[in-house]
């Protein structure tokens, strides 16, 4: 397995992974165009785990100059529980530390709290999300 930066040719495989894990609810923020925007953002980190040239997992996060935050980790269902997600998180942590981050959070640990606890995360607070920014502006 190799972990590398996102490439535009990954889009279809990553959409398939997100769909398989029921993590593809909003194409505007998770689809190919969003993936391209994320990869172009200097604050973002967009990693892909691949085996034999085929994407099997992804991680998206951001570092704002003070704190690092993982937004999503997703691994192909037939490759889960084989260390791919952990490897993605560890690589993200390493890269965020190189940028200057001293802490790392995750927005949505989901129902897999044991996974995050094994990686030294602890549940502290809940995050509220406005999925449509226009509703915040107009609301």
Q: What is the pLDDT of residue 112?
A: 79
Determine the pLDDT at residue 119: 83
Range of the domain at 15: 2-138
Place of tokens 């495989």: 13
Mean pLDDT of the chain: 89
- Asked if 50 and 74 touch (Cβ cutoff 8 Å), the reply is no
Token pair of 88, please?
């993605």
Cβ atoms of residues 6 and 35 within 8 Å: yes
| Helix runs in 100-132, H state only | 113-118
CATH of the domain at 128: 3.40.630.30
Overall domain count for the chain: 1
Written as six digits, the tokens of 11 are 């889009």
The pLDDT, as a whole number, for residue 135 is: 72
pLDDT at 10: 98
**pLDDT, tens digit, 9 for 90 and up, residues 89-121:** 999 999 999 999 988 888 865 677 778 788 888
Evaluate if residue 127 carries a pLDDT over 70. Answer: no
pLDDT at residue 116, as a whole number: 77
Q: Which pTM value belongs to this model?
A: 0.88
């Amino acid at each position: 397995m190799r972990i590398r930066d996102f490439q535009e040719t990954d889009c279809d495989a990553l959409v398939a992974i997100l769909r398989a894990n029921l993590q593809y609810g909003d194409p505007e923020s998770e689809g190919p165009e969003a993936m391209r925007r994320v990869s172009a953002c200097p604050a973002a980190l967009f990693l892909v785990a691949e085996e034999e040239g085929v994407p099997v997992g992804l991680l998206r996060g951001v570092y704002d100059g003070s704190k690092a935050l993982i937004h999503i980790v997703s691994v192909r269902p037939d490759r889960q529980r084989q260390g791919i997600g952990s490897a993605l998180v560890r690589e993200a942590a390493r890269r965020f530390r190189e940028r200057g981050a001293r802490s790392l959070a995750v927005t949505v640990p989901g129902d897999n709290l044991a996974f995050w606890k094994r990686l030294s995360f602890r549940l502290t607070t809940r995050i509220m999300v406005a999925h449509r920014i226009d509703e915040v502006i107009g609301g």
